[in-house]
């Protein structure tokens, strides 16, 4: 709710600032008001500049906050995946299949395989095939 109010406020400030700057620039460019040109330009900067700057800053701040939240969520997800990965390794004596990891981490199969492939490169893993043809990653526990 707060972000939507800030977004609306940012948009209103930007529109107000653009309107005032445009209005005073149009007045300053009018050939009939050549004597008022300097004062119109000053008015554009003084009256239109602050709302334009405030709206721009608010829009930037909202975007920055959204980026921070996304980064924090990714870090939490990565920590959860890593915790699940090591718990499975401990409970299965270092041997894990894609299906086991996908179920435990609640991930689609391809994402689980990609994660395990990355960990396999990181930990110099061996591979094995089970009795029923299942493919296992064998991570060294020592």
Domain that holds residue 5: 1-77
Out of 77, 100, 121, pick the residue that ends a domain.
77
Same domain, 7 and 58: yes
42: number of Cβ within 10 Å = 12
Query: And the tokens for 27?
Result: 């007045």
Tell me, yes or no, whether 68 and 114 share the same domain: no
The answer to whether 47 and 24 are in contact (CB under 8 A) is yes
pLDDT along the chain (142 residues), means of 10: 86 92 85 79 88 93 94 95 93 91 94 93 85 85 75
Q: What's residue 129's pLDDT?
A: 83
Q: How many domains does the chain have?
A: 2
Same domain, residue pair 40 and 3: yes
């Amino acid at each position: 709710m707060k972000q939507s109010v800030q977004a609306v406020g940012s948009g209103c400030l930007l529109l107000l600032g653009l309107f005032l700057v445009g209005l005073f620039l149009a007045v300053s460019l009018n050939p009939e008001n050549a004597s008022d040109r300097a004062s119109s330009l000053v008015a554009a900067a003084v009256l239109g500049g602050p709302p334009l700057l405030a709206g721009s800053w608010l829009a930037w701040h909202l975007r920055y906050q959204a980026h921070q939240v996304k980064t924090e969520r990714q870090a939490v997800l990565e920590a959860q995946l890593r915790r699940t990965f090591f718990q499975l390794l401990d409970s299965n004596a270092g041997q894990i299949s894609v299906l086991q990891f996908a179920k435990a981490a609640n991930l689609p199969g391809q994402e689980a395989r990609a994660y395990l492939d990355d960990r396999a490169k990181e930990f110099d893993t061996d591979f094995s095939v089970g009795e029923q043809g299942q493919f296992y990653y064998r991570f060294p526990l020592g």
